[in-house]
């Protein structure tokens, strides 16, 4: 089935409009760092058909003893509904540090399934 790029763009734009914050999570899905808020810390990029992603890299402060295992998007700056996200290669921090979520490697791809 054929779907025009403009349709996929519309879906991506609508989805991007719902995202208000992005957070890192540990292996249990628990938030481990302060959320980055849309409009303050990042904007949305929907320049490719059916894809939205943050328009910049997001750097989070991580405390020692924490494992970064994924990222999640939410529909509110705090609390709210988890809209989805992705798992990352787990990275354990034995000391305080920073984790940079690469904007171009993050986001949602809307495409027609096979």
pLDDT digits (tens, 9 = 90+) for 2-38: 778 888 888 888 888 899 999 999 999 999 989 999 9
pLDDT digits (tens, 9 = 90+) for 69-104: 999 999 999 999 999 999 999 999 999 999 999 998
- What is the per-residue DSSP string for 19-71? --EEEEE-TTS-B-SPPEEBTTTB-EE--STTEEEESS-EEEEE-TTEEEEEE
Domain ranges of the chain: 20-42+55-105
Q: Is 5 exposed, middle or buried (0-12, 13-18, 19+ CB in 10 A)?
A: exposed
Q: What is the pTM of this model?
A: 0.88
| DSSP-derived pairing of the beta strands 66-74 and 44-45 | unpaired
pLDDT on residue 11:
81
């Amino acid at each position: 089935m054929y779907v025009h790029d403009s349709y996929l763009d519309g879906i991506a734009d609508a989805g991007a409009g719902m995202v208000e914050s992005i957070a890192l999570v540990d292996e249990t899905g628990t938030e481990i760092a302060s959320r980055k808020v849309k409009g303050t810390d990042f904007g949305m990029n929907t320049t490719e058909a059916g894809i939205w992603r943050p328009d910049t890299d997001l750097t989070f402060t991580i405390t020692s003893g924490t494992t970064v295992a994924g990222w999640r998007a939410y529909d509110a700056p705090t609390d709210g509904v988890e809209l989805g996200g992705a798992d990352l290669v787990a990275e354990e921090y034995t000391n305080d540090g920073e984790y940079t979520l690469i904007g171009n490697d993050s986001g949602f791809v809307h495409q027609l399934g096979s």
